[in-house]
Structure 1
Amino acid sequence: MFGYLAKGRDAKFLENHLCISYSTAKSHIYSIYIKLDIHSRQEIIDLIESIEIPEE
C-alpha cells in the first residue's frame, strides 16, 4: 500500500484497486502517516524523492 501512496494514489484508488472498503483504506493510510510522522500525501512523495539510491 505504501508504494501506491508514494505514487500519489488516494484512498478511493486503493479501495477500487485492492478491493477493500474505503474506511479500511483510510485506516491503513492513517496508520502509515502516524508511523512516518507525516501529514499529507505530498509529504510521502517528498520523503520518497529525498531518498538517495547509491550507484553501483
Structure 2
Amino acid sequence: MDRHDRLGEFRGMAFGFWFLRPITGGVEWSVAPEDVRPATPEQRLHAETARANARSRGELL
C-alpha cells in the first residue's frame, strides 16, 4: 500500500473510507480510518500558519 505523510481536514465518510482535504484547499483524497492518526501539536501549528498565509495571499476564501 502506498502511504503518504499528509495532513488533511476530515470532510466526510462513505463506503468505509474517510475523505480528507489538504489544509490549504485542493483535491480531497480517501483513506481507510485505520491509516489515520491525529496531528501532532507541531503539525497543527504548521497547518494553521499555512492556511493563514494562503488566505492572506487570496488563495482561500
The two structures have a TM-score, normalised by structure 1, of 0.34
User: Is the strand fraction higher in 1 or 2?
Assistant: 2
Q: Would you tell me which structure has more helix in proportion to its own residues? A: 1
Output the TM-score relative to the length of structure 2.
0.32
Which structure ranks higher in relative contact order (CA pairs < 8 Å, sequence separation ≥ 6)?
1
